[in-house]
Amino acid sequence: MTTSVTLQTVKKRYGALDVIHGIDLQIDPGEFVVFVGPSGCGKSTLLRMIAGLEEISGGALLIDGERMNEVPPARRGIAMVFQSYALYPHMTVYKNLAFGLETAGMKKAEIDPLVRRAARILHIEPLLNRKPKALSGGQRQRVAIGRAIVREPRIFLFDEPLSNLDAELRVKMRVEITTLHRDLGNTMIYVTHDQVEAMTMADKIVVLNGGHIEQVGTPLDLYNTPVNQFVTGFIGSPKVNFLAARVESHDSGRPLLRTGDQVVRLPRQIDLATGTDVTLGVRPEHLEHREDGGILLSHATITLIENLGGETVVYARLPDGQPLTMALDGQQKVVIGQEIPVSVDSRFLHVFDGAGLAI
Amino acid sequence: MALPKLPAAPETSGAVTGGRKGWLARAWAANGAGYMFLLPWLIGFFALTAGPSLVSAYLSFTDFDLLRAPNWVGADNYERIFTADAKFMASMRVTLFFVIFSVPLKLAFALAVAVALNRGLRGLPLYRAIFYLPSLLGTSVAIAVLWRQLFARDGLVNSFLANFGIEGPSWISHPDYSLWTLIILSVWQFGSPMIIFLAGLRQIPADMYEAASLDGASKSRQFRKITLPLLTPVIFFNAVVQTIEAFKAFTPSFIISGGTGGPINSTLFYTLYLYQEAFRHLRMGYASALAWVLVVIIAVFTAASFLSARYWVHYDD
């Protein structure tokens, strides 16, 4: 069963304060959509509006084409997994899973197979008689997901469900949720501030900032062709380098930019007047420490090295003082204080105007 | 390699380092300031609580009457209480009736008000203070006197009922109703448990209710299945405290019945009977025995409450 979700100029207002400023979004049946953005960007509010836990101040929410603004949460065919899990502490795992079905008036004989099926999917059968306080974080998370599964909803909503787990468990649960989506095929909307979760789980990422959508696209769309500096900065780890540059002159219509100790010839024709300040965006993993790795950006002095085994993260400083991070393949023979050339393949060079928009 | 020479340790006197005096001196040196801070409480505890308790325990085995030196009578006082004192049984019946009805009613009323106040009302602190006021005034003599005026034959309650053509009795003088006026007075003093319920309600995470509403639970089902179970630790606390308070209730009965526990012993609280024995009949030894019986009864109730708690009180962790 797959379901579409449509947001038409959806707004949220608390008194005089606008927090969601008219969002238009189409979520196709069976998609795994991730809302990502910094704290306070409105991603959880938007999710709660879809769930029916927050009123919609303006615009329309359609589920399978049907307007849902005034429909109570329980009748939207939605199940939600909360950040805190929201398990009922006085009930056993079995009772937690069965609560929604009991509320719907189902008989015990009907409830039991559904609960056991959900428990089987999530490997929590041995935990059914335990109370939440006797479960680990990961087990609680599974129960919370089980409570969603058991109701056989049209849409699953996840509100930062992994943020209370340790790093190792987070990776494990990430895989499990992705697998669950593949197995069930339901439409899922997932909120996180962790761009790695967004990149690894999503069919489609919605980047939110200040109650606006900055960009919607597949993870690789956002990585390769971000529309602005905010999206570029939000996607990717280690974080993208932004280097201040100025148009010094032109060569055959192509601007020549000064950054660090080099003049960089942009690989494409861009209409920029001499003296214009721009920002170059270069991802750490696209930088190379050799003269002939594409465009020579600058020389840099190494200030810190992190050897991760399969990768070496080098922190450096350009002659004009700008910081730079490089993620180099393998184990590199570099030392702190060493001056190295920094180059980048021109395909991976992003240029932003003064307003932060990609040029 | 030669070790560097350490400075010599300061010499200590034999009085400090050896024996009992040394131990006391060290304890005083280490914690003297703490004991000084504790001193006012320690004096109060030993002079006003522990001391009198031990003395009353002793007196309960005597025939002390304030006028003559106490004579040891063994368990005679206790034997009389349980075998030959009809008034003991009457006062116990009244007290148990009062406890059984006033505590649940007061808790239910307090919870209802707390739930109402927990709905994000504007001016909540003001309402909280207003509802708490009766608890501050409730056990005072003035309020007990006011209660007499309310429930007397020509009191406000009957004046109100007269509007509907109902001629009410003198509620405080009628043996069938007098105890109920005291129960109502007790329920009216709901402020203290209400404040605690309110604090408990605010501890219940909002996402529990959100999860329940997504599950389709109505407000009443949410109250029964989430609020009440998660509030059981607070309900338990309030129940124990209020039960103990109810067993110890004295002032309302004393003022409203004029110290008699009438009409026909219908408001004869246990503590009032104890008071009569001690200060009207000067049977201090017997009153002490009554006091210790009350202590044991309260202890048994409390212990039973704690034993039962494991079956109905839900602690998160």
Do A264 and A278 contact (CB within 8 A), yes or no?
no
Nearest to A53 among B210, B216, B229 (CB): B210
Residue B115, token pair as written in the block: 């739930």
Q: How far is B223 from chain A (nearest CA, A)?
A: 13
- Res. A5 pLDDT band, cuts 50 70 90: very high
Mark yes or no for CB contact B210/A103 under 8 Å. Answer: no
Within a domain: B19: no
Q: What is the pLDDT of residues A283-294, one digit of tens each?
A: 999 999 888 777
Axis-axis angle for helices B284-312, B76-83 (nearest 10): 70
- Res. B9 pLDDT band, cuts 50 70 90: very low
Give A89's contacts in chain B (Cβ within 8 Å).
230, 314, 316
Give A151's contacts in chain B (Cβ within 8 Å).
215
Domains of chain A: 5-231 (3.40.50.300), 241-352 (2.40.50.140)
Q: What is the pLDDT of residues A34-82, one digit of tens each?
A: 999 999 899 999 999 999 999 999 999 999 999 999 999 999 999 999 9
Query: In terms of pTM, does the model score above 0.90?
Result: no
Instruction: Specify the DSSP element, H or E, that contains B207.
Output: helix B206-214
The CATH number of residue B149's host domain is 1.10.3720.10
Q: What is the pLDDT of residues A224-241, one digit of tens each?
A: 999 999 999 988 889 999
CA nearest neighbour of A87 among A122, A123, A50, A139 = A139
CA distance A283 to A349: 8
* Residue B118 pLDDT > 50: yes
Mark yes or no for CB contact B208/A88 under 8 Å. Answer: yes
Within a domain: B37: no
Do A178 and A166 contact (CB within 8 A), yes or no?
no
* Residue A1 pLDDT > 70: no
CA distance A153 to B91: 61
Q: Does A97 touch chain B (CB under 8 A)?
A: no
Within a domain: B26: no
CA distance B230 to B206: 12
3-state secondary structure A166-230: CHHHHHHHHHHHHHHHHHHCCEEEEEECCHHHHHHHCCEEEEEECCEEEEEECHHHHHHCCCEHH
Mark yes or no for CB contact A73/B214 under 8 Å. Answer: yes
Within a domain: B134: yes
Within a domain: B259: yes
Name the closest residue on chain B to residue A75, using Cα atoms.
Answer: B216
Nearest to A74 among B216, B314, B316 (CB): B216
Collect all residues with Cβ–Cβ distance below 8 Å to B264 and sequence separation of at least 6.
Answer: B175
Hunting for tokens 């990776």 — which residue is that? A171
CA distance B281 to B262: 17
Rounded to an integer, the average pLDDT of A173-183 is: 91
State how many domains chain B has: 1
Name the closest residue on chain B to residue A134, using Cα atoms.
Answer: B317
Task: Identify the domain containing residue B116 by its residue range.
Answer: 76-312
> What pLDDT does B105 receive?
97
Classify residue A206 by burial, with Cβ atoms within 10 Å: 0-12, 13-18, 19+: buried
Residue to mutate among B214, B226, B311, with most A CBs inside 10 A, is: B214
Q: What is the pLDDT of residues B261-279, one digit of tens each?
A: 878 888 999 999 999 999 9
Strands A350-352 and A339-344: unpaired
Do A206 and A35 contact (CB within 8 A), yes or no?
yes
CA distance A119 to A138: 14
ipTM of the complex, rounded to two decimals? 0.83
Within a domain: B302: yes
Do A145 and A122 contact (CB within 8 A), yes or no?
yes
Of residues A262 and A280, the one with the higher pLDDT is A280
> What pLDDT does A173 receive?
87
Do B309 and B236 contact (CB within 8 A), yes or no?
yes
Q: What is the pLDDT of residues A244-255, one digit of tens each?
A: 999 988 888 788
Q: How far is A217 from chain B (nearest CA, A)?
A: 29
CA distance B173 to B9: 81
Rounded to an integer, the average pLDDT of A194-210 is: 93
- Res. B10 pLDDT band, cuts 50 70 90: very low
